[in-house]
Amino acid sequence: CKFTTAYIIAHEAGHHVQNLLGIIPRVTQAQERAGSKAEANNLQVRVELQADCLSGVWVNREEKKRPGFLEQGDIDAALQTAAAIGDDTLQRQAQGRVVPDSFTHGSAAQRKRWFMVGYQQGTIQACNTFGTDRL
């Protein structure tokens, strides 16, 4: 599905936006000061979930600019991809168990949730994964 590729590229473009906004350098510094690997991983998960959210913002805005941009099944395809690349899914497949403290990208549910937050809200402000306890 072409849209799956677009979702992944939009996620990576989200990292570029994070870098331009100074988020990546601040997180890197915070990770260096983190008291544990789990704490550093949690910060990385927030970065990744924010990039998922930003990809959803892109989809929202693109659909408003170009009605019909989305085809039937595109959002489902993005959500299936988010689930397939969730840390819990990948760990279960690779080692048969899930270790949440080792997550670096977020669970399938978290990745789907944050993509949908961006898609439904359509604003960068909605993507503040650092200002919430609920990932």
For 43-73, write each residue's pLDDT tens digit.
999 999 999 999 999 999 999 999 999 999 9
User: Closest by alpha carbon to 38, among 91, 103, 110?
Assistant: 103
Q: What is the DSSP letter of 68?
A: T
Q: pLDDT tens digits, residue range 78-98?
A: 999 999 999 999 999 999 999
Return the amino acid letter for 127: C
Q: Which pTM was predicted? A: 0.94
Return the amino acid letter for 130: F
Cα of 71 vs its chain's centroid, Å = 22
Return the amino acid letter for 110: Q
